[in-house]
Amino acid sequence: MLVKAVLAAVLAPVAVTAQLHQLAVNAGLEYFGIAVGESAVQQDTTYRNLVNDKREFGQLVPENGQKWDSTEPNRGQFNYRNADIVPNVAKQNGQLLRCHALVWHSQLPGWVNSGSWNRQTLQSVMEVHINNVMGHFKGACYHWDVINEAINDDGTWRPSPFYNTFGTDFFALSFRLAKAADPDTKLYYNDYNLEYNQAKTDKAVELVRIVQAAGAPIDGVGFQGHLIVGSTPSRSALATTLRRFTSLGVEVAYTEIDIRHPSVPSSASARVTQANDYANVVGSCLDVAGCVGITIWGFTDKYSWVPGTFPGTGEALIYDSNFNKKPAWTSISSLLAASAKPTGGQPITTLTTSTRSAVITPPPITTTTTTPAAPITTPGNGPEQTRWGQCGGNGWQGPTRCQSPYTCQVLNPWYSQCL
């Protein structure tokens, strides 16, 4: 389903068809983006055509091309053949570019992993690498993931050549080097499983404080959002976790979202649950001042990393393997459309999404939800809209009846939805 946009400046002379990035910006976010596979965007025309649509995806991030093993496979020898692929696409299309990642324990070339380092020699290696890579993309990157995944799931610091040599001093060092290399980009710490607000999240808060206490610059924290259908925290719990970081004076973003089914092929009911989970994640960002955007790690199941990493699971993205939009796409687009802001104002409405508890339960939170308006009643036997679909609003010419047991709820003058 293509959702009708909230009309520009409240009313526009011609209605337009809105897509995810357009809807996200209308809802007050800075972008809706995706990770792009370097091989897929070169070889698959259907994939490339969707990537090129900046109304759908207004921000791109290279999936692998900018990582250390790709850009500096041998010491002092830099290769940007793969690293340039996605930035060139973003530049050609006028899309934002998010850059990923500089200092990470994984996807390091052997010469870094096996090196015998002291603080002086490793700092020199880091400085050369960061200066060269960030210098190559200087002025192009909206955000840089400076440090990636420095914390174990149990809340301990992760061993790496950097931690083993510097301890926690490598945090501030990395951010200082990055700031010197490109003063105008925003600098992020990025990690997964922060969403559950447990020991790992506590340690990430500590990491931000360590960097700040050292006087080093840090602008944001990226929540990767590699989640599981049916085990994703509620919208209110996710928002509470995001606020732990915005209270420190940094912005936050979801940087690598995918929500995998624990077994595949998924059922229709599981796909509805997945749609609810996606809506809760996106909704939590809308609820938090300082949450700036959403990035999905890919967009089509055809090229997802998930099945190869978690065998037996998958179907984690918002388009299926044949590039058809899934219920998750509809839930996101509907939520964003319902949250559109009038010029200079607050959201027209807040769509209430599921608040079921996660398998890993964060602390209980009291929230206030919006009571939907009375349902629209439409006689007749015309076509029926599915759950989450648009069913009314100014200029809407599609179905106005909802499939049972859902009813058409008025969310704002321009948007009604089957709920």
Span 327-351, pLDDT tens digits? 999 999 999 999 987 754 444 433 4
Q: Is 60 exceeded by the pLDDT of residue 190?
A: yes
- Residue 397 has a pLDDT of 63
**Mean pLDDT across the chain, nearest whole number?**
86
pLDDT digits (tens, 9 = 90+) for 235-285: 999 999 999 999 999 999 999 999 999 999 999 999 999 999 999 999 999
At 385, is the pLDDT very low, low, confident or very high (cuts 50, 70, 90)? confident
Q: Which of 30, 38, 56, 149 is catalytic?
A: 149
What is the rounded average pLDDT of the residues 307-320?
97
Q: Which of 30, 56, 63, 256 is catalytic?
A: 256
Q: Is 90 exceeded by the pLDDT of residue 54?
A: yes
State the pairing for strand pair 415-418/390-392. antiparallel
Query: How far, in Å, are 384, 385, 408, 419 from residue 405 at the CA level?
Result: 11, 11, 10, 9
- Residue 389 has a pLDDT of 65
Backbone angles phi, psi at 376, to 5 degrees: -80, 135
At 390, is the pLDDT very low, low, confident or very high (cuts 50, 70, 90)? low
DSSP per-residue letters across 179-202: HHH-TTSEEEEEESSGGG-SHHHH
Query: Which of 7-21, 100-114, 385-399 shows the lowest mean pLDDT across its residues?
Result: 7-21
Q: 52 or 389: whose pLDDT is higher?
A: 52
The percentage of the chain sitting over the pLDDT mark of 70, rounded to a whole number, equals 82
Q: Is 50 exceeded by the pLDDT of residue 95?
A: yes
Closest CA to 207 of 177, 233, 168, 239: 168
Active site residue 30: no
Q: Is 80 exceeded by the pLDDT of residue 99?
A: yes
At 387, is the pLDDT very low, low, confident or very high (cuts 50, 70, 90)? low
Active site residue 149: yes
Helix 169-181 and helix 199-213, axial crossing angle in degrees, nearest 10: 60
What is the rounded average pLDDT of the residues 69-93?
97
What is the rounded average pLDDT of the residues 289-313?
97
At 286, is the pLDDT very low, low, confident or very high (cuts 50, 70, 90)? very high
- Whole-angstrom Cα distance, residue 229 to residue 88? 34
Side-chain-side CA neighbours of 288 within 13 Å: the count stands at 30
Backbone angles phi, psi at 318, to 5 degrees: -100, -10
Q: 379 or 59: whose pLDDT is higher?
A: 59
pLDDT digits (tens, 9 = 90+) for 127-183: 999 999 999 999 999 999 999 999 999 999 999 999 999 999 999 999 999 999 999
pTM score above 0.85: no
Q: Is 60 exceeded by the pLDDT of residue 6?
A: no
Query: Which of 90-99, 155-164, 375-384 shows the lowest mean pLDDT across its residues?
Result: 375-384
- Residue 341 has a pLDDT of 79
